[in-house]
Amino acid sequence: MTQMPTPDAPLNIGTRGSPLALAQAHETRDRLARAFGLAPDCFAIVPIKTTGDRVQDRALRELGGKGLFTREIEEALLAGTIDIAVHSMKDMPVLQPEGLILDTWLPREDVRDAFIAPGLGGIADLPQGAVVGTSSLRRRAQLLARRPDLSVVEFRGNLQTRMRKLSEGVAQATFLAMAGLNRMGLEVGQAAIPPEEMLPAVAQGAIGIERRQDDARIAAMLAAIHDAPTAEVIAAERAFLATLDGSCETPIAGLARHTAEGLWLRGEILRPDGSEVLSGERRGTIADGPAMGEDLARDLLAQAGDGFFG
């Protein structure tokens, strides 16, 4: 019988301190509490500041990519200060440090990007030459591929900062993930963009829970809240990303869905200025997911050739 956490010996949940990260940590706590009939105070939410959170005003990707938002949290996990770490999987590197494992998934939220522009329903409504704010290489490239007439400005900071920039006219539109808005219960006039129009980031809308590999007690508890269908689509998407990763700073998008036969996967790589888009699809069984991701990535890399990334 698994030893259950108590208010005196709570299960410590590590997370970044942003409002979205905290909402995700609370969702994780609530699911665990419900699964085991435990009171909320059997869990402690431990916000951890990461390098990525500290460095607000520099071009983050110059500083070392995705691990920026996870290193301190993973160190706390290895040190035993926390027992699990809750992550937005869109921001997670494909490999975890020695001794840690990431194999628990909460049910995926809305995978779509949100278009946010007061009074406008979608990208097509933007006037010729309009300015759009985003800090996402992927969204920038996808937008310019569709609308080369638009200009894109860097948009950083929290949701409030971005909404203020919109109202000040710094840009006429911006993007966020529907998942984040939904998880925070926010209504900012967002319009969901169909994936055919803007393919989301790999693992967008998915929350993953990381733990120490040798912690059998925690593994048993996490099994109770694991969502297998989410694991299946993410396995295909992350294999696609893993095969592409390291080869480029190129914008990448990928989305897998269940079909009657198994899985469907679509992937896309773009030149940062949107001047070229390479995409493809695979279908297969659920067990084929990772192989579909790898195969599609290899195919796109071969199509791209050396010039694509330069």
Ligand X SMILES: NCc1[nH]cc(CCC(=O)O)c1CC(=O)O
- Which residues, at least 6 apart from 70, have a Cβ–Cβ distance to it below 8 Å? 50, 85, 87, 91, 92, 93
Q: How far is the CB of 161 from ligand X (least distance, A)?
A: 13
Residue (89 or 145) nearer to ligand X, CB: 89
Residue 241: CB minimum distance to ligand X, A: 14
From the CB of 42, what's the least distance to ligand X, in Å?
26
Residue closer to ligand X, measured from CB, 10 or 180: 180
DSSP assignment of the chain: -PPPP-SSSPEEEEE-SSHHHHHHHHHHHHHHHHHHT--GGGEEEEE---HHHH--SS-GGGGTGGGGGTHHHHHHHHHTS-SEEEEEGGG--SSPPTTEEEEEEPPP----EEEE-TT--SGGGSPTT-EEE---HHHHHHHHHH-TT-EEE---S-HHHHHHHHHTTS-SEEEEEHHHHHHHT--SSEEEPPTTTSPPPTTTT-EEEEEETT-HHHHHHHHTT--HHHHHHHHHHHHHHHHHTTS----EEEEEEE-SSSEEEEEEEE-TTSS-EEEEEEEE-STTHHHHHHHHHHHHHHHHTTGGG-
Active-site residue (options: 30, 83, 91, 306):
91
Minimum CB separation from ligand X for residue 37, in Å? 28
Binding site for ligand X (CB under 6 A): 88, 90-91, 176-177, 179-180, 204-205
Establish whether 299 is a catalytic residue. no
Closest approach of ligand X to the CB of residue 85, in Å = 15
| Shortest distance in whole angstroms from residue 290 CB to ligand X | 21
Nearer to ligand X, 48 or 304 (CB): 48
CB of 91 or CB of 299, closer to ligand X: 91
* Closer residue to ligand X in complex, CB, 15/204: 204
**Sign of the torsion angle spanned by Cα atoms 104, 110, 113, 117:** negative
Instruction: Rank residues 38 and 166 by Cβ distance to ligand X and give the closer one.
Output: 166
Catalytic residues: 91
